[in-house]
Structure 1
């Protein structure tokens, strides 16, 4: 497995990113953009990207907080146990809007093109990345054919930039995996998102992972659950196998 560190020019600066490729599929032109959780690029996300790259995809993991670099690094298990670190992360989250990431996603797609990855694209996001993966699919529907969110928050909130408001623009197949109980994506939001996707005739699945807590998929998270993570992995690879290949 090869990781290439690249720099992506955006409207607001330079975003660092990791690009993972499998040596066994060097000619593949399909790619996945992995939208990070609140703790930023780190080995745990690299691990997920490497596993996806092992399926024959190129996987881009951009730093969505690049406007505030340098920062961190943060350890997911302990990041919120210290009030100063918690305040920094909260500031990074509030200072990196959905609209910023939507604009950045155009640059991410251009970066994939520059690397010869001109085929269909899938997106997957964890935590804060979940909404961004869906918003990217809505904004670039002619390129993004699959979008997945795992323990994504505020997918159907009252905010103007909530992904459910853009459901009519999505052409991708959508998969949403939710934690059993998640204050950032309560049942009323799940129902609102489902209705928006149905009304827009988007091919979608919203699945509740009962017993899982917010963050269960990411290996360095305090609530990581190996059984739930494996289930998420099967759903994710099936989605991409049926849409990207």
Structure 2
């Protein structure tokens, strides 16, 4: 099921996959896509959050480029296509669309707390949401380029959880060190490291998933949201 969300800049509207819990939501979670669009794995993330009692939304952040992109990272040609979309993607507009999705989620709740969780590109955008939106709690999995956003850390007002893959070939050890140096003493930020794990280890499906690490990270995320989104 999808809903339409109006862009805050008046440029149009975009789809968001929505999953609703069986009972009254305990809060809402905005799930931020990877570079592969709102594909089956991202929709499964939403379904899982709904099963845990949350209203879950996954906005189509590539809609200005082409609506409805769904790619499979296990297919090399589609992986390359995903990098192409990422290079064209305007992250500032993406954050604005996440902000609109947070607003839409709050409206559907009739008020209440909204968290965000993102993966890969979405992990970076989750950090940006923590500094640039009113998200009540933010989680980033293997976010790329967060070391270039550390100048915004003063704007973090609500709790942030970051999962870092120790063997991430996009987030190398020197970058991980900068993240720890810049954020370890921030009272609102928690960083968990996963030694030996590569980028994408918590994907719902496909070759990238690393089961034990994915389960551990997801358990930590569930506990984090249970504490802060209620």
TM-score normalised by length of structure 1: 0.86
CA distance in 2: counterparts of 1:114 and 1:122, whole angstroms = 14
CA distance in 1: counterparts of 2:119 and 2:161, whole angstroms = 12
Residue 88 of structure 1: CA displacement?
Answer: 3.0
CA distance in 1: counterparts of 2:99 and 2:207, whole angstroms = 33
CA distance in 2: counterparts of 1:7 and 1:110, whole angstroms = 12
Cα RMSD (Å) of the superposition?
1.8
Residue 72 of structure 1: CA displacement?
Answer: 4.1
**Secondary structure of 1:216's match?**
coil
Aligned match of 1:146: 137
CA distance in 2: counterparts of 1:117 and 1:230, whole angstroms = 32
Residue 202 of structure 1: CA displacement?
Answer: 3.4
2:48 aligned with 1:51: yes
2:225 aligned with 1:234: no
CA contact (8 A) 1:156 1:192 kept: yes
Aligned match of 1:98: 91
**Secondary structure of 1:59's match?**
strand
Aligned match of 1:192: 178
2:120 aligned with 1:134: no
Aligned match of 1:77: 74
Residue 119 of structure 1: CA displacement?
Answer: 1.0
C-alpha spacing 1:51/1:87, structure 2 compared with 1 (3 Å) = closer
Aligned match of 1:209: 194
1:8-62 per-residue CA deviation (whole Å, 9 max, x = no partner) reads: 1112322110111111x22x36211111111111221111111111121111101
CA contact (8 A) 2:184 2:191 kept: no
Q: Which residues of 2 match residues 84-123 of structure 1 at below 5 A?
A: 85-123=78-116
CA distance in 1: counterparts of 2:187 and 2:153, whole angstroms = 7
Q: 2:157 aligns with which of 171, 179, 203?
A: 171
Aligned match of 2:21: 22
1:178-209 per-residue CA deviation (whole Å, 9 max, x = no partner) reads: 1121132222322322333356x332221211
C-alpha spacing 1:152/1:6, structure 2 compared with 1 (3 Å) = same
